[in-house]
Structure 1
Amino acid sequence: MKLFLPVLSLLLVACQSTSSATPEEKFVDVYISKGDKQCHFGGISLAKAKGYLLEENISVSQASCAVITGMAYPSVCGGATGNIYLFTIDAAKLNAAKAIGFIPAAALTTKKLGYQVQKCQKVINNKNM
């Protein structure tokens, strides 16, 4: 019993993390609308949207296409699609990304919405291919 408490104390100290931030806290997902409309396709390309971030010296570790879920979009030509581009960036650059129009993906959950990653379609001459 005399050894139990010191050994337990050593184990607890050894298990403590020395890092104040987990890898998940170092990165954040942000999104921007693709800008396409029903029946009209188009919008901006993934590369162009990524370029907006790179122009502001915001590194992108991952980029993907997605669609906002949990919201109904009426079927009407010219109506919204919910298509977005999703980027993983350094959390320290979040305010800079917000300043140029990107929105934290976590904001979707506060609105009881979400997103689903999907295969990207090419945008050629403002038309999806």
Structure 2
Amino acid sequence: MGLLYASIALGMIAACGVFIAMWSFNPAPPSNADVVEGRLRVYETGLPVSLTEMELQAPFGERVLRPAIQRLGRFLEQTMPEPARRRIFLDLHLAGRPGGLSAGDFIAVRYVAT
């Protein structure tokens, strides 16, 4: 009988712990200052802008293509011989780094384009 009471007590403690944990995930209500600031922002800009909306306003090339090309460029640059990599770097430097391309970016663009 003692085992039954102990298991019930432990079950209640566990249930309370789960309840408290779930309650802690509930966001705090906004303060009056936050509400007023949000309303003022609507009047200033027209619509509130979230971080996600700001990120999505960037062009597709900057959000998706450039990071993909940079990752591919870093990978290809590591597998390329050092003299060839140095030569590409010097050529890009002499050309004024068109488009802000690094040697790895140029290698990736050349690889994708051909």
After TM superposition, the score normalised by the length of structure 1 is 0.25
* TM-score (ref. length: structure 2): 0.27
Q: Which has the larger radius of gyration?
A: 2
Higher strand share: 1
User: With CA pairs under 8 Å and 6+ residues apart, which has the higher RCO, 1 or 2?
Assistant: 1
